[in-house]
Amino acid sequence: MFENYRVFETTLAGRPLIVETGKVAQLASGSCVIRYGETVVLCTATASDKPREGIDFFPLSVDYEEKLYSVGKIPGSFQRREGRPSEKAILTSRVIDRPIRPLFPKDMRNDVSIVCTVLSADPDCPPETTAMIGTSIALSISDIPWDGPISGVSVGLIDGEYIINPTAKQQDVSEMHITVASTRELVAMIEASANEIDNETMYNGIMAGHTANLEIVKFIEGIAAEIGKPKFSFESNEPDPAMYEAVKQFAIDKVKFALDTDDKRVRDERLIPVYNEVHEKFDTEYPDMGDKIDECMYKLQKHIVRRWLLDEGKRVDGRKLDEIRPLASEAGLLPRVHGSGLFTRGQTQVLTIATLGTSGDAQILDGIDDEESKRYMHHYNFPSYSVGETRPSRGPGRREIGHGALAERALLPVIPSVEDFPYTMRLVSEVVSSNGSTSQGAICGSTLALMDAGVPIKAPVAGISCGLVTEGDRFITMVDIQGLEDFFGDMDFKVGGTKNGITAIQMDLKIHGLTPEIVKEALDKTCKARLYILDEIMLKAIPAPRAELSPYAPKMLNTKIDVDKIREVIGKGGSVIQKIQSECNCNIDIEEDGSVFISALDIGDAKRALSIVETIAKDPEIGAVYKGRVTRIMAFGAFVEIAPGKEGLVHISRLDVKRVEKVEDVVAVGDEVMVKVTEIDEQGRLNLSRRDALIEVEGLVPQNNVSNSHRAPRHNGDRRR
């Protein structure tokens, strides 16, 4: 039945990697089931027979599908089925897309669809890189034109040793997590998060991943040589060379003049009449080929920008290759938010707002990995007005989600632990003006906003990008690329980090890959630029996190109680915790491990609630002073509740430092008083003293005329719990 069924085996990082073809999804152009340990992913590649009409780009789609049955879970949604992809699935789709896209013919317009379905997920064998390898195999054995293969692995660092595809436990203690994709010879993609790793350590980690990839590339080439299909021919979208030469001769000087400015608005305004003149001249000569004429204009602009860089070392805006655009930073712009920061680099401008919340505000995750929630979130918005366009907002796309995740990764290593800062944090970066490197502007703006919010981050983080133009063996890199250099260049190498080291990398390429020499130079240039931005711009705007939180931010306190005491703090039907929240005007969240998080707008309310919770959970101690509330008054004294369910007697002789004739002369029901525990009898009943608390806390001096008749009896038959 499965006459074309084949199995190919190798090992990767000491674990078996098994590829099955010819059995599942046989109607796709190329498909395979790839098994790595107990991870199983079905990868398929299909292409349309004809090119898509009226487009000027290669229509590739990559979908990484997380199926919750792969880890034995039922979806938590109302319909109990997978809905829209999780953010992690979208980010994985982008990681797979980036190294394979440059290897397709640039003039092809046939739709290509990649679908990776996770059928079984082993946390020790990452399905993300497994899917990347499976995609490479599916494309390599298909009839789709593609100049692969590639391979991808993840790299960890533990005790100075690089670990290829670290297990789940190893990932928990690893100092960095890098995903590296490679072609036959070059580094094709880098995605990294790290705990302030220096350039040399990061470079060596990238090379370790690259070396591991080369063996898998050879393995895939062997599969393709054995069962690969011939590649189909396609209708090229490349404009006629004679048409391009004619447009070039007519418009090159005009386009040079239009591009030669540091102002994007001026450049766009100058190009409009040039386009009009070109179409006026060539529309009649080349009828019904307006899109091809536009393609010639695109190629001409690309030619000019690249020749300037390669031949003259000249950038469009006149900067030197290592020069950053004018910079500005500002913190505390918005009065009612918890924190805000505005970062400007040339015509790129990002406003980031920080909001602090309680542990209950953490994002709940429903994915195939072990991460169930996160307390630090970064969201990135890119409205059309930021580039001077008119387009309705339809919510975040894959690009927005990707840029937000990059900024989130860059800041995550410096976010304080929940024990040190028990808040949930949400950062929102609004791109208000865009001319390149907005994701790196979001990193800088987020640092400003967090510091303005009073978040005690371990170190400020800045982000910067490095561009690239290549020609044969020649290459030129330039720091802080603007939009045109990104559009017509070969690379966008984004690096975020502190003064101590790198925290995040994301590399986008339009060529097949990078040599080690280019990787090293990009790391060096971004390091120098990052340090300049931190020292000369950001830290001058706000040198350290604010000492106090915004008055509009909740005040948080946390503690940890014995798990056996959780029930007492909550009370029957939630009666105790609801009473504490009502009396102290606060919110209380208790986790299964006994962690307690208390939030209130007033720090005094939070402290009062914390005292009550700890009193319930830790049992009163002789000699301890508590703040309580008078619940009943008797002739011989007052009963004071120091916590729900914990009440004691303050005898009349212990109500004040002076003689008391009537209890009502000193306290009334509902009064809050400080009391000291003087005795806990065999039945657990409390004897309290306001007198001792006043002496200890307020330093009052007792008077000597207290009558002996007011001595507290050792046992009181009228006392009730």
Asked if residues 465 and 308 have their Cβ atoms less than 8 Å apart, the reply is: no
Asked if residues 321 and 504 have their Cβ atoms less than 8 Å apart, the reply is: no
pLDDT beyond 50 at 362: yes
Measure the CA–CA gap between 62 and 47, rounded to whole angstroms: 12
**What token pair was written down for 148?**
């692969």
**What token pair was written down for 568?**
């007492």
In this predicted model, what pLDDT tens digit does every residue of 5-26 receive, in sequence order?
999 999 999 999 999 999 999 9
How many Cα atoms are found within 13 Å in the side-chain-facing hemisphere of 325?
24
Measure the CA–CA gap between 548 and 571, rounded to whole angstroms: 34
In this predicted model, what pLDDT tens digit does every residue of 535-562 receive, in sequence order?
999 999 999 999 999 989 999 898 999 9
Place 704 in a pLDDT band, splitting at 50, 70 and 90.
low
pLDDT beyond 50 at 334: yes
DSSP-assigned states of every residue in 271-287: HHHHHHHHHHHHTTTST
pLDDT beyond 80 at 701: no
Angle at 352 between CA 350 and CA 355, to 5 degrees: 170
Place 720 in a pLDDT band, splitting at 50, 70 and 90.
very low
DSSP-assigned states of every residue in 142-171: SSS------EEEEEEEETTEEEES--HHHH
Highest mean pLDDT, choosing among 442-456, 619-633, 707-721: 442-456
Full strand arrangement of the beta sheet holding 376-381? 327-331, 339-345, 348-357, 424-433, 376-381
**What token pair was written down for 389?**
């366009």
In this predicted model, what pLDDT tens digit does every residue of 246-301 receive, in sequence order?
999 999 999 999 999 989 899 999 999 999 999 999 999 998 888 899 999 999 99
3-state secondary structure of 626: strand
Exposure string over 311-338, b if 16+ CB within 10 A, otherwise e: eeebbbbebeeeebbebebbbbeeeebb
Measure the CA–CA gap between 703 and 300, rounded to whole angstroms: 97
pLDDT beyond 50 at 58: yes
Domains along the sequence of the chain with CATH = 6-160+198-227 (3.30.230.70), 241-312 (1.10.10), 327-541 (3.30.230.70), 555-710 (2.40.50.140)
Place 639 in a pLDDT band, splitting at 50, 70 and 90.
very high
3-state secondary structure of 483: helix
Measure the CA–CA gap between 20 and 715, rounded to whole angstroms: 83
User: Which contiguous run of DSSP H or E holds residue 440?
Assistant: helix 438-452
Amino acid found at 581 = Q
pLDDT at residue 15, rounded to an integer: 95
pLDDT at residue 391, rounded to an integer: 86
8-state DSSP, 417: P
* Conformational region of residue 642, where left means phi above 0, alpha means psi within -120 to 50, and beta covers everything else: alpha
pLDDT at residue 719, rounded to an integer: 42
pLDDT beyond 80 at 380: yes
Minimum mean pLDDT range among 207-211, 269-273, 389-393: 389-393
Sign of the CA dihedral running 203, 205, 206, 210: positive
pLDDT at residue 339, rounded to an integer: 97
In this predicted model, what pLDDT tens digit does every residue of 28-43 receive, in sequence order?
999 999 999 999 999 9
Place 390 in a pLDDT band, splitting at 50, 70 and 90.
confident
Which among 346, 339, 343 has a CA at the least distance from the CA of 323? 346
8-state DSSP, 321: T
Asked if residues 32 and 141 have their Cβ atoms less than 8 Å apart, the reply is: yes
Measure the CA–CA gap between 129 and 225, rounded to whole angstroms: 23
pLDDT beyond 70 at 714: no
**What token pair was written down for 280?**
């006026």
Asked if residues 378 and 427 have their Cβ atoms less than 8 Å apart, the reply is: yes
Percent over 90 (pLDDT), the chain: 78
Minimum mean pLDDT range among 467-471, 498-502, 605-609: 605-609
Asked if residues 10 and 219 have their Cβ atoms less than 8 Å apart, the reply is: yes
In this predicted model, what pLDDT tens digit does every residue of 668-690 receive, in sequence order?
999 989 999 999 988 888 999 99
Measure the CA–CA gap between 311 and 313, rounded to whole angstroms: 6
Asked if residues 284 and 229 have their Cβ atoms less than 8 Å apart, the reply is: no
Across residues 338-365, what is the average pLDDT? Answer: 93
In this predicted model, what pLDDT tens digit does every residue of 305-318 receive, in sequence order?
999 999 999 999 99
8-state DSSP, 252: H
**CA distances from residue 10 to 19, 31, 111 in whole angstroms, order as listed:** 9, 18, 32
Place 365 in a pLDDT band, splitting at 50, 70 and 90.
confident
**CA distances from residue 155 to 152, 188, 206, 479 in whole angstroms, order as listed:** 10, 15, 8, 26
Which among 345, 630, 629, 314 has a CA at the least distance from the CA of 480? 345
Collect all residues with Cβ–Cβ distance below 8 Å to 2 and sequence separation of at least 6.
22, 23
* Helices 127-141 and 199-227: angle between axes, nearest 10 degrees: 40
Measure the CA–CA gap between 582 and 239, rounded to whole angstroms: 73
Which among 97, 93, 117 has a CA at the least distance from the CA of 32? 117
Collect all residues with Cβ–Cβ distance below 8 Å to 594 and sequence separation of at least 6.
560, 561, 562, 563, 565, 566
Beta-bridge mates of residue 344: 328, 349
- Mean pLDDT for the chain overall: 92
Asked if residues 11 and 215 have their Cβ atoms less than 8 Å apart, the reply is: no
Measure the CA–CA gap between 167 and 36, rounded to whole angstroms: 12
